[in-house]
Every structure is written in structure tokens, then in C-alpha cells.
């Protein structure tokens, strides 16, 4: 058995402690809200890992880490199967042992389902110059179960669909705004965060039971935000004939200002909305969804259908598409461009705010920069579908959502956004008009 | 409230390596955006390559520090080529999205646990500058940047620039790089080459019709600006540890703000802009918490420290709307091509 190779493969898997750091540094990687059980946090170097049963963390498994100089520490895995032990030295070997008697009955440490390496419950890891190492254990019935792999894929696809629908709500707004005004709106991320932060603030005032009311009010306020941004900033800039690049940089400045304003009000930590810990209900196979997940998917689909109907059949919807196509011609044929653009900002802001609330449940948690974490995914989805096309943004979002969730089956989950970003670049290179865009849109 | 102390700490930022690093990156961005009209939103990626290339060159490849510096510069050249060959034909705002995404990919690759042995993952890398590491981060022995310091140990200068020989060494090295780079950029943009890239910024087709290879000129501009950015990252790595949490998208936006403050299409704009930006940041970061502590502002010290970032955003918005050419820029030199 090639131990170092095993270790290296294992490190490629999700490391819980790194996940925690990732969140602590306020960066993109999604991960679960890792509250890994930590022993000896004061020691400088870390051994961490994950005990998984068919991809699901196993709680309360006793893990012992021993090393040179009589070092020994015991840790229990947390509800997500994660554990972390601080160790005193780097460039040293440590032995990690899983106490199999603390595993649920009838299962044992088995092969890593993604590699051919046999794993035993006793492993040696080397803490290298980086000062941290991950050792993950896979628990199961003793043999690889192909059905469970299928289930895992199904679970990922459903999760990805949920994520994609949420992205779609944000993307169609961004795409419409781009289509009608030409602005690459970087502040869209802050419009997403707005919905979640305002809901959180209102729940704080009105109490947990008033969550539906808080959500409705947050959406009304989101509409107000969109209206205010257009009336106070973007319309005056249109009147000045400000260039598109300038508008883009204005949106970046706006994004910075609003983002740090959120941090000013809610601080740098993560907050939870009521119901974010709703239990998961087994549906079929190993597919589990919480009530919140199901309601969130249902509402997303409903909103998207209403939006699609609005865009296709109403007078303003038709005018919106006309302006996306050719603003001058639309204006010449008597369409009130400024009025329609105002409506687009309001609708875009409402959809973004609602997707922010869903994002707060999907992550889960509210952070000042939560919108910024998915901004590039929103751009990727919008670009994939074709900038300026609302239906394209919808399809693009679902593709990106499923891709991000499913890719963590193959690549380490702290790299799952990289796939989406690579697609974003690839699309811009080979088909910048996107799947549904038309070639003449690209200058 | 110790107002003199705040002013003194603020003044020390004028000679801070971070200020010089920003100025170098800003100079690179001036070539990209100010002179060639390329909307590079991924400067943080170039800086990360400069810093990590240097640190990894020493820690993983065991190179001497002066050779390791070229690893970072080389990496940024390769990055510029990979980025430029396919993307320079794209329209401005598309290029912005591609570069921002590419910089994020670099950061995520530096952060992931997969390459912990090389990149240090979320902890970053430490102890690559030779003697003078901390207890928890022992140094790999003599031969590093700090050991090449010819200045005898001791305190030099006067308040607020009274510091030990290590700080002065990095200041002098940074100043030499910065002066050299500024001179080179000044010569470049006033050369025939500079006139061509300014022409590309104004009207690409006109330059193409004169028989110039627009793509090649843009690529040269991208590489030169990228190298300047990696030098900025290198300077950061010489003065402190490297950590991927530094090279975030916000860093790129801050450099943009500093650049636009000074004037995008000027040689000295990024320099002056960086000095103003950093000293203002430092000043606001000190003065607001001090005011809050003195009970003059109705919020906590942590909140007070955040106000400066809100102000940065507002400044960026106002600058772009009301003075897009910056403090030193000439309105006739259109930096924002439509």
C-alpha cells in the first residue's frame, strides 16, 4: 500500500478545517458551514479530516492522533463528520486511528470510493512544510456500492438544480439590466445580499415567527432599492451619456461601498435565518431535502414562470425585449425607454433580493459578502446563456448550478467554482454571444 | 485622542512597502488600461503570481532569493500570454470579466487543500526571507533576502521613518525597483511604441489600417503591465508573508481606485495616487476608531474601522463620474474609450 499516495489523494478530498478557514477568510469557496470539532486549537499545525459514510458525515466517531514525543490527542467527529487536531510539530509523522467501536453497528472503514486504495482504520500522515494535512476516512458496508454512487449523483443533481434556480433569479435580472442599459452591474451581488440582510434585520425586530412577513417586506424594500438606484444614480448617468466602461467602474465602486456598509451593520461573522437548521427528509433512494429546500425550489420555479409570462406577454415585457434588441429603434417607435429601464431595475432588484434570501438558506448563513461569493457564477451563468437574453440566463444558471454541485464528486470541493469560471472563460473565447445570444451583439 | 500619533503613523505609510507595491501594480495597470485601453480586472492575480512564485521558488525549489524573484516574474509573463492569446480579441467589458475570473482561478488554486505542500493552502507561506523569522516559523537558514542586507543592524532615520535595518533595506530595494520601473514606463510611453499603444486605445482600426500588428502591441502591453504587477507582489512578499486572502478581487479594485485617483493615462499618476490612497486609508483607519473611542462617533471601534472602505467605494464612484481623468490626467487623453 502506498501510504503517501493515499494521503495525497485523501488531501484532495474536502478538508473540513480548510473549509472553516475558507469561510473565515471570506472567500469564494462554498463548503458547508464547517464547525469542525477542534482539539488543541492553540497548537500551530493541524491534522484534520472527515469521516464519511457514502458521502455523508458520521457524527461522534472517536479519532486518536499520536505522534513523536508522546503526543496524543483524541477528538470526536462533529455532525458533519469533521474533526481537527492541533499538533506541535511540522515535518513530522502522526498516526491517525479511528476507533471502530464508535462507528454505527455493522459498518467499518472501507476503500475510498474514488480511488483504488485500500484504507485501514490506522493511517500515518506527514505534516509537511505547509503545517497542515488532511486524512479522510470512508465508512461503508465493506464493499463499493454502485447504487449509492447513482444516488449520490442524483442528490447532487437535485442540489445543483436548487442552486441553479437560485442563481437564475439573480442572473435574469443582471441579464435584463445588461440588455437594456449595457451596464455590467458588479453591484448586483450587493442587491442579492440586500434581500438576505434586510430579512435578517426584520426578523430581529419582528421575531422569528414573523419570517414570512419579513420576507415579503424585504422584497418590497428590494424593489425600493432598485427604484432608488436607477432614480438616484443610473438615470442621471444615462443623461450625462456616461461611457459603458465608466458605468462598469461606477458599479464596482458602488459594490464596494454597499458591501462594507453591510459589514458595518452586521459585522464580519455569519448569521442564520430561522429555519436554516430544518431537518432533512428522506424522499427516495438516499435523496434528502429539507422543507426549506423544497419550498425554495417551488418558489423559484413559480417566480421564474411569472417572470417568463411577464416578459413574453405583457406590454412592458415586450417593450423590454424591444429595447434589449435595439434601444434607438425602440425609442423611435414611441417606447418610453427610461420608464421601461426603471421597471427593469425594480424587477431585477426584486429577483436578486429573493435569490439572496434563498442563498442565505442554501449556503447556509448570512454574510456581508455572500453576494460577492456568487457574483462571478452569476456572470458565468449570464454569459453562458448569452448576455442580455433572459431565457438564456435561466438555462445558463441551471447548467452552472448543476456543474458546480456535480463537479465536487470528481474534483476537491474547494475547487468546485473553478470549473464554472473555466467555462465562463471558455464561453467568452469560443462563443462570446453565449448559447442563445446572437452574433451581432458582440462588438 | 492622540492626533499627532495618528499623523505620524499615517506619514510612515508614505515609505511603506505596501504603498510601493500598490504603486508598481498601479503602474502596470496604467500601461494596461491608461495607455493600451485594456480593461484588466485581474491585477491581483499577477501580484499573487509574483509573490507566490518568489516564495515557492525558495521553499519548494530551493533557489536563492534573487533567482526566485524571477520565478514570480516568469509566472506572470506566462499568465499574461495564456490570458492574452485568446482574450485580447474580445471587447473591453468581456476582457474585464475574463481577467477577473482568471485571477479568481489563480487564487482558488493557491487556496485549495490539494496543493497544501506547495502553497500552504489557507495558511499561506512563511519563513522564506532568511534570518529573522518568528519562533513558530523557523527560517530555512542564511542566504535569504534578509541575509543579503548590507546595512549594519541598528535604528536609522527620524520619526516617523525611524526603523531598523531590515525595514530600511526593503524600503531602499522597493524604491529602486519603483524608480527604475517608473523611468522605464516613462521612456516607453513616450517612445514610438507608446504612441502606437495610445493609438490602439483611441482607435484600434485606425492603427490597424496603418499596418501595425495591433494584437502583438496589445500583448506586449499586457506582458509589461503584468510584470510590473508581479514586481508589486514580489515587493509584498519581500516585506511579509504571502497569503491568498490578500490577493482577492478587492485588491484589484483598490489598485484601480488608486490609479484613477492619480490619473490612469499618466506615468506619475499611479505613484501619487497610491501614496494618497494608502495614507488616506491609514489615516481614516486610525482616526475613525480614535473618534469612536473618544465617544465622538456613536459606534464601536470595529465598525469605525470599516467606514474607510465605504468611503473608498464612494470615492471611486465620484472619481469616475466627475473626474475620470484623475488628479493629473488631461481630459483630452480619453481614458474611457466608448
Locate the chain A residue with the closest alpha carbon to B119. Answer: A130
B104 touches chain A (CB under 8 A): yes
Tell me if B332 is assigned to some domain.
no
Domains A3-144 and A149-441 agree in fold:
no
Domain containing residue B115: CATH number? 1.10.3470
Q: State yes or no: pLDDT of B21 exceeds 90.
A: yes
C-alpha–C-alpha distance, residues B316 and B34, integer Å: 16
Which pLDDT value is given to residue A55?
67
Tell me if B335 is assigned to some domain.
no
pTM of the model: 0.79
SS3 A87: strand
**Subunit contact B317:A260, Cβ cutoff 8 A:** no
User: Mean pLDDT over residues A112-138, rounded?
Assistant: 66
Q: State yes or no: pLDDT of A114 exceeds 60.
A: no
Q: State yes or no: pLDDT of A142 exceeds 80.
A: no
Q: Could you state, in order of their start, the residue ranges of all structural domains in chain A?
A: 3-144, 149-441
C-alpha–C-alpha distance, residues A255 and A169, integer Å: 19
Which pLDDT value is given to residue B137?
45
B82 touches chain A (CB under 8 A): no
Which of B102, B249, B302 faces A425 most closely, judged by CB atoms?
Answer: B102
- What band does A299 get if pLDDT is binned at 50, 70 and 90? very high
Which pLDDT value is given to residue B230?
96
Q: Which domain holds residue B211?
A: 3-153+163-322
**Subunit contact A256:B114, Cβ cutoff 8 A:** no
Outline where A267-334 has alpha helix (H).
291-313, 315-325, 327-332
Q: Considering chain B, what percentage of its residues have pLDDT values greater than 90?
A: 44
**Subunit contact B316:A253, Cβ cutoff 8 A:** yes
Instruction: Dump pLDDT digits (tens) for A373-420.
Output: 899 999 988 888 877 677 888 999 999 999 898 887 888 878 888 888
Which pLDDT value is given to residue A112?
56
Which pLDDT value is given to residue A69?
59
B281 touches chain A (CB under 8 A): no
Contacts of B102 in chain A (CB under 8 A): 421, 425
Task: Identify which of A224, A179, A172, A174 has the alpha carbon closest to the alpha carbon of residue A320.
Answer: A179
CA–CA min distance B51, chain A (Å): 16
Which pLDDT value is given to residue B226?
96
What is the CB neighbour count within 10 angstroms for residue B95? 25
Q: What fold does the segment set A3-144 form as a domain?
A: Immunoglobulin-like (2.60.40)
Q: What is the mean pLDDT of chain B?
A: 86
Strand partners, A368: none
What is the CB neighbour count within 10 angstroms for residue A384? 29
Run of H or E residues at A50: strand A45-53
CA–CA min distance B257, chain A (Å): 8
- The distance from CA A11 to its chain's CA centroid, rounded to whole angstroms, is 22
Tell me if B334 is assigned to some domain.
no
**Subunit contact A428:B96, Cβ cutoff 8 A:** no
**How is chain A split among helix, strand and coil, in percent rounded to 5?**
60, 15, 25
Q: State yes or no: pLDDT of A90 exceeds 90.
A: no
List B residues 287-326 in contact with A (Cβ-Cβ < 8 A). 299, 302-303, 306-307, 309-317, 319-321, 324
Which pLDDT value is given to residue A288?
75
CA–CA min distance A108, chain B (Å): 26
Q: Give the ipTM of the model, two decimals please.
A: 0.88
Q: State yes or no: pLDDT of A111 exceeds 70.
A: no
Instruction: Dump pLDDT digits (tens) for B291-319.
Output: 888 877 777 777 887 888 999 999 999 98
Q: State yes or no: pLDDT of A146 exceeds 50.
A: no
CA–CA min distance B196, chain A (Å): 22
- Choices 1.10.1660, 1.10.3470, 1.10.287, 3.40.50: CATH for A149-441: 1.10.3470
Which region among A293-307, A308-322, B6-20, B308-322 has the lowest average model confidence (pLDDT)?
B6-20
SS3 B333: coil
- What band does B208 get if pLDDT is binned at 50, 70 and 90? very high
The three three-digit cell numbers of residue A204, written as one number: 430581529
Instruction: Dump pLDDT digits (tens) for B78-96.
Output: 999 988 887 787 777 778 8
Measured in degrees and rounded to the nearest 5, phi and psi for residue A287 equal: -75, 125
Interface test with A, best of B84, B89, B101, B259 (most A CBs within 10 A): B101
C-alpha–C-alpha distance, residues B180 and B174, integer Å: 10
Which pLDDT value is given to residue A136?
76
Residues B141-170 as b/e (b if ≥16 CB within 10 A, e otherwise) read eeebbbeebeeeeeeeeeebeebebbbbbb
- What band does A70 get if pLDDT is binned at 50, 70 and 90? low
User: Mean pLDDT over residues A179-208, rounded?
Assistant: 93
- Which among A435-439, B64-68, B69-73, B200-204 has the top mean pLDDT? B69-73
Q: State yes or no: pLDDT of A178 exceeds 80.
A: yes
Strand partners, A57: A52
CB A117 within 8 A of CB A2: yes
Q: State yes or no: pLDDT of A141 exceeds 80.
A: no
End-to-end, the C-alpha distance of chain B in Å comes to: 48
Which pLDDT value is given to residue A196?
95
Strand partners, A188: none
The three three-digit cell numbers of residue B282, written as one number: 491609514
Which pLDDT value is given to residue A377?
92
Instruction: Dump pLDDT digits (tens) for B220-261.
Output: 999 999 999 999 999 999 988 899 989 999 999 999 999 999
- The distance from CA A146 to its chain's CA centroid, rounded to whole angstroms, is 28
List B residues 116-145 in contact with A (Cβ-Cβ < 8 A). 116-123, 125, 136
Which of A25, A129, A379 faces B59 most closely, judged by CB atoms?
Answer: A129
Amino acid at each position: 500500500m502506498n501510504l503517501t499516495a493515499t494521503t495525497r489523494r485523501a488531501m484532495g478530498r474536502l478538508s473540513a478545517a480548510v473549509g472553516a478557514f475558507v469561510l473565515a477568510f471570506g472567500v469564494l469557496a462554498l463548503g458547508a458551514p464547517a464547525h469542525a470539532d477542534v482539539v488543541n486549537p492553540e497548537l500551530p499545525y493541524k491534522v484534520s479530516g472527515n469521516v464519511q459514510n457514502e458521502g455523508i458525515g458520521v457524527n461522534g466517531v472517536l479519532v486518536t492522533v499520536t505522534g513523536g514525543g508522546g503526543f496524543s490527542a483524541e477528538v470526536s467527529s462533529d455532525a458533519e463528520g469533521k474533526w481537527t487536531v492541533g499538533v506541535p510539530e511540522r515535518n513530522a509523522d502522526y498516526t491517525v486511528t479511528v476507533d471502530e467501536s464508535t462507528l454505527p453497528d455493522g459498518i467499518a472503514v472501507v476503500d475510498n470510493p474514488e480511488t483504488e486504495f485500500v484504507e485501514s482504520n490506522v493511517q500515518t500522515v506527514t505534516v509537511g512544510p505547509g503545517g497542515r494535512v488532511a486524512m479522510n476516512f470512508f465508512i461503508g458496508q465493506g464493499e463499493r456500492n454502485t447504487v449509492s454512487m447513482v444516488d449520490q449523483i442524483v442528490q447532487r443533481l437535485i442540489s445543483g438544480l436548487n442552486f441553479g434556480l437560485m442563481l437564475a433569479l439573480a442572473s435574469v435580472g443582471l441579464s435584463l439590466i445588461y440588455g437594456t442599459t449595457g451596464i455590467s452591474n458588479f453591484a448586483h451581488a450587493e442587491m442579492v445580499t440586500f434581500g438576505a440582510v434586510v430579512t435578517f434585520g426584520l426578523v430581529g425586530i419582528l421575531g422569528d415567527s414573523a419570517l414570512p412577513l419579513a420576507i415579503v417586506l424585504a422584497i418590497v424594500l428590494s424593489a425600493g432599492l432598485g427604484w432608488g438606484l436607477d432614480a438616484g444614480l443610473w438615470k442621471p448617468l444615462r443623461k450625462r451619456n456616461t461611457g459603458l466602461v465608466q458605468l462598469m467602474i461606477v458599479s464596482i465602486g458602488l459594490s464596494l461601498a454597499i458591501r462594507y456598509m453591510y459589514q458595518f451593520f452586521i459585522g464580519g461573522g455569519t448569521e442564520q435565518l430561522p429555519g436554516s437548521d430544518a431537518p432533512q427528509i428522506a424522499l427516495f433512494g438516499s435523496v434528502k431535502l429539507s422543507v426549506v429546500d423544497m419550498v425554495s425550489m417551488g418558489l423559484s420555479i413559480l417566480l421564474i414562470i411569472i417572470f417568463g409570462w411577464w416578459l413574453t406577454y405583457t406590454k412592458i415585457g415586450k417593450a423590454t425585449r424591444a429595447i434589449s434588441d435595439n434601444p434607438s429603434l425602440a425609442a423611435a417607435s414611441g417606447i418610453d425607454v427610461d420608464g421601461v429601464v426603471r421597471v427593469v431595475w425594480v424587477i431585477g432588484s426584486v429577483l436578486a433580493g429573493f435569490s439572496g434570501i434563498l442563498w442565505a438558506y442554501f449556503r447556509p448563513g448570512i454574510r456581508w459578502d455572500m453576494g460577492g461569493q456568487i457574483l462571478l457564477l452569476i456572470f458565468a451563468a449570464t454569459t453562458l446563456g448569452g448576455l442580455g437574453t433572459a431565457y438564456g440566463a435561466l438555462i445558463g444558471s441551471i447548467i452552472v448550478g448543476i456543474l458546480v454541485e456535480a463537479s465536487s464528486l470528481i474534483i476537491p470541493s474547494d475547487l468546485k467554482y473553478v470549473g464554472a469560471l473555466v467555462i465562463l472563460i471558455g464561453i467568452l473565447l469560443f462563443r462570446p454571444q453565449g448559447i442563445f445570444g446572437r452574433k451581432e451583439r458582440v462588438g | 485622542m492622540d492626533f499627532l500619533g495618528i499623523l505620524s503613523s499615517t506619514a510612515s505609510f508614505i515609505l511603506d512597502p505596501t504603498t510601493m507595491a500598490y504603486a508598481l501594480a498601479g503602474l502596470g495597470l496604467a500601461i494596461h488600461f491608461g495607455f493600451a485601453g485594456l480593461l484588466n480586472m485581474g491585477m491581483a492575480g499577477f501580484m499573487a503570481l509574483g509573490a507566490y512564485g518568489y516564495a515557492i521558488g525558495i521553499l519548494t525549489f530551493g533557489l536563492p532569493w534573487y533567482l526566485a524573484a524571477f520565478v514570480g516574474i516568469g509566472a506572470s509573463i506566462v499568465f499574461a500570454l495564456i490570458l492574452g492569446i485568446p482574450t485580447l480579441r474580445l471587447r473591453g467589458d468581456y476582457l474585464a470579466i475574463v481577467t477577473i475570473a482568471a485571477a479568481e482561478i489563480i487564487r482558488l488554486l493557491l487556496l485549495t487543500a490539494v496543493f497544501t505542500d506547495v502553497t500552504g493552502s489557507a495558511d499561506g507561506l512563511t519563513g522564506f526571507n532568511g534570518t529573522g523569522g518568528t519562533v513558530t516559523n523557523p527560517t530555512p537558514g542564511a542566504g535569504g533576502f534578509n541575509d543579503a542586507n548590507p546595512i549594519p543592524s541598528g535604528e536609522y532615520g527620524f520619526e516617523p521613518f525611524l526603523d531598523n535595518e531590515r525595514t530600511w533595506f526593503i524600503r531602499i530595494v522597493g524604491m529602486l525597483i519603483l524608480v527604475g520601473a517608473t523611468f522605464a514606463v516613462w521612456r516607453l510611453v513616450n517612445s514610438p511604441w507608446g504612441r502606437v499603444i495610445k493609438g490602439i486605445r483611441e482607435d484600434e482600426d485606425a492603427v490597424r489600417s496603418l499596418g501595425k500588428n495591433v494584437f502583438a502591441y496589445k500583448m506586449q502591453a499586457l506582458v509589461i503591465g503584468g510584470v510590473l504587477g508581479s514586481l508589486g507582489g514580489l515587493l509584498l512578499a519581500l516585506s511579509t508573508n504571502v497569503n491568498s486572502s490578500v490577493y482577492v478581487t478587492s485588491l484589484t479594485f483598490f489598485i484601480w481606485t488608486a490609479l484613477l485617483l492619480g490619473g490612469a493615462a499618466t506615468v506619475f499618476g499611479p505613484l501619487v495616487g497610491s501614496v494618497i490612497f494608502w495614507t488616506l486609508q491609514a489615516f481614516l483607519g486610525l482616526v475613525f476608531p480614535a473618534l469612536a473611542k473618544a465617544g465622538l462617533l456613536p459606534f464601536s471601534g470595529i465598525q469605525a474601522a470599516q467606514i474607510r472602505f465605504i468611503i473608498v467605494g464612494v470615492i471611486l464612484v465620484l472619481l469616475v463620474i466627475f473626474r475620470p481623468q484623475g488628479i493629473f490626467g488631461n481630459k483630452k487623453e480619453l481614458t474611457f474609450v466608448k
